[in-house]
Amino acid sequence: MSSENKKKLFIKTYGCQMNVYDSHKMADVMSTVGYELVDDYANADMTIVNTCHIREKATDKLYCELGRINKHNKKNNREMMIAVAGCVGQAEGDEIMRRAPYVNLVVGPQSYHQLPELIAKTSHKKSERIQLDFAADEKFDSLPAETTQSGSSVFLTIQEGCDKFCTFCVVPYTRGAEYSRPAADIIAEAKRMADNGAVEITLLGQNVNAYDDGKSRLTDLATKIAEINGIERIRYTTSHPRDMDDELIAAHGSIPELMPFLHLPVQSGSDNILQQMNRKHTAEFYLEIIAKLRKARPDIAFSSDFIVGFPGESDKDFEDTMKLVEQVNYAQCYSFKYSPRPGTPGALREDTVAEALKSERLAQLQALINRQQNEYNKKFVGKNVKVLLDRKGKYKNQIIGKTPYMQSVHLTTKLESFGNIVDVRITEMHANSLGGEIIDIKKDNIAA
């Protein structure tokens, strides 16, 4: 089909990296029925909004975006099909249809492989809300092997869903029970990605280190993926402290492709709050894992997620969080004010923390985190580090690369050898990135 005959599809993605992966997969499915991706809804024949339900603000964004698209369509007298996918689609499909009746289609994260047939059924005048059973195996089996995901750094979903039921979190309800894809399928997909130019693969799962297909665990996968020609870097996210087994910890010392950076969310440093969050481990247990990982791979850097103002969080509980952050010394962190989510046990609690106090604690925590991040980055100035040239920057001749430790490095160079890992001398640091100069291009690092 020539490009003029193709229908135009715009996908707007919110939420986590798994949603980014899903959006690529939706584009893959839609390309089998003649849709090509465009980067704006202005001229699209169809828009998919891939949504996130994790915090109230994330959900609000959906309704703003839908309102904007509808206004644009009305003003320009356009008939564009609008679909809502992702976790809000799963959690509140009926609500979406009620609040935004111009939406044609709602699909959950486990049913987007059915998009072509759903679209065939849905006329512009009739809405469909198709859901929403959790058949992850069926989804992965029906997705096309070819992928639109390109570039040197790619995502690969290996595990989906969550059985942990932390009392603040919607994910077990929106993504269903834990499901691990068969290792052979994952390796095959990783090989195709390498053939497409991938140098760095990030393995994704809501509980990625709980991966278990009955035969292989995450360490087995990492070992096999490290052997694939062209793959130089492997990462995985998001891990749960309870699933950090000794084998995986040891792998950080023995598999050089496993990058020395780990996102290991702890949420709180207070045993009392951890228990009420149903995290099923203590602060001490977490600190022990961090110590073991540092022993296996001394240069490993850490990041975490934190929630402040969970119901019942006292000043003492919050101090324990600050203390834990001091003890770990993170390279970067994400922190959020607790947001009560419908259907979760936390939302039923009456001992809520006042919004102003949440804001105060968040500011205090973020000041500490920023200080640690700055101190961490400062140590790199004047040093050489391996940087994967990843993508174009905003400015002319600017390239953005990534260090093994997940720092973005901004480089000014005419050289456009994306996918190369080069030696860079770090010359400066900015708020969230580093700046530097390429000092060497190693030919043997050029991806095949």
Contacts to ligand SF4 by CB under 6 A = 162, 164-166, 169, 171-172, 206-207, 240
Q: What is the four-CA torsion angle of 252, 336, 58, 132, rounded to 10 degrees?
A: 50
Binding residue (CB under 6 A) for ligand F3S from 49, 171, 194, 411: 171
Question: Up-side HSE of residue 338: CA atoms within 13 Å toward CB?
Answer: 30
Beta strand 421-429 with 384-392 is antiparallel
Rounded Cα–Cα distance for residues 140 and 185 (Å)? 9
Q: Which residue is nearest to ligand F3S (CB)?
A: 15
Rule CB under 6 A: say whether 24 interacts with ligand F3S. Answer: no
Binding residue (CB under 6 A) for ligand SAH from 50, 238, 270, 303: 238
Distance of closest approach, residue 399 Cβ to ligand SF4, in angstroms: 34
Closest CB to ligand SAH among residues 238, 420: 238
Closest CB to ligand SAH among residues 203, 429: 203
Residues 246-265 that bind ligand SAH (CB under 6 A): 265
Structure tokens at 122: 């849905």
Binding residue (CB under 6 A) for ligand F3S from 12, 175, 341, 361: 175
Closest CB to ligand SF4 among residues 207, 219: 207
Rounded Cα–Cα distance for residues 321 and 307 (Å)? 10
Structure tokens at 178: 């834990």
C-beta atoms surrounding 264 within 10 Å:
21
Residues 6+ apart with CB under 8 A from 318: 270, 308, 361, 364
Closest CB to ligand F3S among residues 53, 113: 53
Closest CB to ligand SF4 among residues 313, 390: 313
Beta strand 301-308 with 159-160 is unpaired
- One character per residue 27-66, x = contact with ligand SAH (rule: CB under 6 A): ---------------------------xx-----------
Rounded Cα–Cα distance for residues 201 and 204 (Å)? 9
Q: Choosing among ligand F3S, ligand SF4, ligand SAH, none, which partner's interface includes residue 24 (Cβ < 5 to 8 Å by kind)?
A: none
Beta strand 408-412 with 398-402 is antiparallel
DSSP H/E element including 97: helix 87-99
Q: Choosing among ligand SF4, ligand F3S, ligand SAH, none, which partner's interface includes residue 172 (Cβ < 5 to 8 Å by kind)?
A: ligand SF4
Rounded Cα–Cα distance for residues 261 and 290 (Å)? 12
Angle between helices 283-296 and 315-328 (to 10 degrees): 10
With CB under 6 A as the contact rule, which of the stretches 166-174, 325-333, 393-401, 402-410 interacts with ligand F3S? 166-174
Residues 70-89 that bind ligand F3S (CB under 6 A): 86-87
How would DSSP label each residue in 213-281? -SS-BHHHHHHHHHTSTT--EEEEE---GGG--HHHHHHHHH-TTB-SEEE---B-S-HHHHHHTT--S
Tell which phi-psi region holds residue 279, choosing left (phi > 0), alpha (psi between -120 and 50) or beta: alpha
Distance of closest approach, residue 171 Cβ to ligand SAH, in angstroms: 6
DSSP H/E element including 48: strand 46-51
Closest CB to ligand SF4 among residues 22, 232: 22
Distance of closest approach, residue 296 Cβ to ligand SF4, in angstroms: 23
Rounded Cα–Cα distance for residues 269 and 292 (Å)? 18
Q: Choosing among ligand SAH, ligand F3S, ligand SF4, none, which partner's interface includes residue 165 (Cβ < 5 to 8 Å by kind)?
A: ligand SF4
Structure tokens at 24: 């690529």
Distance of closest approach, residue 134 Cβ to ligand SAH, in angstroms: 17
Q: Which residues pair with 307 in a beta bridge?
A: 336
Closest CB to ligand SAH among residues 28, 305: 305
Q: Choosing among ligand SAH, ligand SF4, ligand F3S, none, which partner's interface includes residue 193 (Cβ < 5 to 8 Å by kind)?
A: none
Distance of closest approach, residue 190 Cβ to ligand F3S, in angstroms: 22
Closest CB to ligand F3S among residues 21, 286: 21
- One character per residue 45-64, x = contact with ligand F3S (rule: CB under 6 A): -------xxx----------
Closest CB to ligand SAH among residues 104, 373: 373
Q: Which residues bind ligand F3S (CB under 6 A)?
A: 15-16, 18-19, 52-54, 86-87, 170-171, 174-175
Q: Which residues bind ligand SAH (CB under 6 A)?
A: 54-55, 168-169, 171, 206-207, 238, 240, 265, 267, 305, 307, 336, 338-339, 341
